[in-house]
Chains A and B, each alone.
Chain A
């Protein structure tokens, strides 16, 4: 009898666990979209004379992280509250749009969280077992229109992107998920907020300043700084310029983020 009950309990527990696993999996597939990798020509060539680069499969949040989502994070990780955070990790505007250190207020709950530093954005993703996307991942996903994985040379798509950018300059932020899903099912990559990337500090768009004779300009070790290509791609170049001007503790009134994971990862 006893053996019977314990077998029954084990079966029940097992069932509950697999339900939980299925729910976790569903949460992932709802929140993140799979982006199939491939070769790609970035506006930032990986090295002088090298045009093509390869992006591996990854998964990316469908929408930017919202105020409500970020509020749950700071409630669970109080060291990231605006009244607890060390000045090393965020400037003094960090989350200053919230009426309280832990609550964003009902009107902005579904808007992208902004005024977060790179440190805070990274910590949020890490708490989910995820990370910030790299620049190349972000740019790769953002090259897609609703129908094409790389629509950057499609004049109609260029026009849509440009019009989004001219609109985003005005005032309040929209709720996430209002723009059409792209080829991969990702939304809001254009026209909603600027977004942190993991390697924002590595873009080195300053011109090639290595003169062997001048020790001051040997600041960059390696085969030299990058040159930007595809000058018609203004929105992407604007992003690079903005990201390159940031420091990891800076926050911005239109600077948000979303998380990514490698394709095989089990992030939440």
Chain B
């Protein structure tokens, strides 16, 4: 029965394509991502659940490790009912250096729970488009590093931007409140 329901859901999504999502949903973006295990998926890999999504680069010395800590702090501070459902996607802005393997290594060294988190990469043009729908600013520097804005976006189960936060190192109260309000 469960399989039948899943099959139906899958068939519906195939039939409706991206139009199944609301006009403002970022899941409308046709983005081909590859995760830390080499599995291909779209932005909507966690559709149906609230999602924290952010962009980073693996070799970032300062703000990016802090970004992971902040995401964890939000998870811990979330109301228990939402904590179970909450998922996290981190997308690399550095497709040259963040290979599947280096994402896998980052997941290991930071002990990331891959049953609930996804580290993903995409080609440069896709990265640009994802940054555009998330209003993330970034720019490569001559030494290969990046300047980028650290924005954590909370997505509704259908991929709409519920709230965006630039607060790092502690959970943003505004974001937590929005999370509690997600049905």
Give me the interface of A with B, judged by CB distance under 8 Å: 46-47, 50, 53, 86-89, 118-119, 122, 126, 131, 198-199, 201-204, 215-216, 218-226, 247-249
Indicate whether A47 sits within 8 Å of B125 (C-beta atoms), given known contacts A88-B29, A88-B133, A248-B133: no
Whether A219 contacts B128 in the complex (CB less than 8 A), given A46-B142, A86-B23, A87-B23, comes out as no
Q: How far is the CA of A87 from the CA of B24 in the complex (A)?
A: 5
30 pairs, A vs B, C-beta closer than 8 Å = A47-B141, A47-B142, A50-B142, A53-B142, A86-B18, A86-B24, A88-B26, A88-B28, A118-B132, A122-B129, A126-B125, A201-B131, A201-B137, A201-B138, A202-B139, A203-B137, A204-B137, A204-B139, A215-B167, A216-B166, A216-B167, A216-B168, A219-B63, A219-B166, A220-B148, A221-B63, A221-B146, A222-B63, A224-B147, A249-B132
Size of interface on B: residues with Cβ below 8 Å to A: 40
Task: Tell me if A218 and B148 are in contact (CB < 8 A).
Answer: no
Q: Which residue of B lies closest to A89 (CB)?
A: B28
Counted as pairs of residues, one from A and one from B, with CB atoms less than 8 Å apart, the total is 103
User: Bound state CA distance, A168 and B23, in angstroms?
Assistant: 35
B-chain residues with CB within 8 Å of residue A219 when the two chains form the complex: 63, 149-151, 166, 168
> Quick one: given A46-B142, A47-B142, A248-B132, are A221 and B24 in contact (CB under 8 Å)?
no
B168 touches A88 (CB 8 A): no
B63 x A218 contact (CB < 8 A): yes
Q: How does the 8 Å CB contact mask read for B43-72 relative to A, with 1 for contact and 0 for none?
A: 000000000000011001011101000000
Q: Is the CB of B23 within 8 A of A199?
A: no
Q: In the assembled complex, how far is the CB of residue A55 from the closest CB belonging to chain B, in whole angstroms?
A: 13
Complex: chain A residue closest to B142, CB-CB: A46
Instruction: Tell me which residues across on chain A come within 8 A of B142, comparing CB atoms.
Output: 46-47, 50, 53
**Main SS class of interface, A:** loop
Give the chain A neighbours of B136 by CB distance below 8 A: 201
CA distance A215 to B125 in the complex (A): 31
Q: Verify A47–B133 contact, CB threshold 8 A.
A: no
Smallest beta-carbon distance A219→chain B, Å: 5
- Additional A-B contact list (7), CB under 8 Å, known A86-B18, A226-B147: A202-B137, A215-B168, A218-B62, A221-B57, A221-B150, A223-B147, A249-B132
- The closest CB in chain A to the CB of B65 belongs to A221
Q: Within the complex, what minimum Cβ distance (angstroms) separates A90 from chain B? A: 10
Interface flags, B82-109, vs A, CB<8A=1, else 0: 0000000000000000000000000000
Measured in the bound complex, the distance between the Cα atoms of B144 and A161 in whole Å is 34
Which residues of A sit under 8 angstroms from B116, Cβ to Cβ? none
Is residue B145 contacting chain A, with contact meaning CB distance below 8 A? yes
Q: Shortest distance in angstroms between B111's beta carbon and chain A's nearest beta carbon? A: 21
Bound-state Cα–Cα, A201 to B138, Å: 7
B143 x A47 contact (CB < 8 A): yes
Q: Among the interface residues B56, B132, B167, which one has the most CB atoms of the partner chain A within 10 A?
A: B132
B residues in contact with A199, CB < 8 Å: 128, 139
C-alpha spacing A202/B93, complex, angstroms = 12
